[in-house]
Amino acid sequence: MIHGVPPEMHSMLLNKKSPKEDWEAIKSMCLGADRVKEVNAQKLLAKFEAILFKSGETIEDFAVRIRKLATDLKGLGEMSVDDTRIVKKFLRVVPPRYNQVAFTIEMFCDRKTLSVEELVGRLRAAEDRFEPSVEEVTNKAG
């Protein structure tokens, strides 16, 4: 049995008296790994639900952060964070200056078929049309 498992498991299995004990030990280790994955996925889901724009963060920077969370979740087997869910979350947390744009997107676009990239493009177009904020003007003057 030892030849069919990774070398790091050999010492654990050498103390077992039967193939059944070997199998139970391997099964316990795998279940533990699955639980760790599940706990990590739950932590990332909580992070996804709590994600907000940081002060001064651009649309693109936020998109990168939320996409990374979604990718990490998919890597842990959590498939519920799809583009539709990301788009809805994105629209709920946009900074106040984007509220009217978000409202317009919600009214005139199908959020079920709108990709994250398309949403980012629409918000970026609005971002480019905004006049500089007081913060941006102050930073340039200083």
The Cα-based distances of 68 to 26, 72, 75, 120 in angstroms read 32, 6, 10, 15
Give this prediction's pTM: 0.68
Convert the pLDDT of each residue in 117-137 to its tens digit: 999 999 998 887 776 655 555
Q: Are 42 and 76 in contact (CB under 8 A)?
A: no
The SS3 assignment for 136 reads helix
Domain boundaries in the chain?
Answer: 19-130
Kindly give the residue spans of alpha helices, DSSP state H, lying in the chain.
10-14, 19-50, 59-75, 83-93, 99-108, 116-129, 134-141
Q: What angle do CA 59, 64, 69 make, to 5 degrees?
A: 125
Convert the pLDDT of each residue in 18-62 to its tens digit: 777 767 776 676 655 666 778 888 999 999 999 999 998 999 999
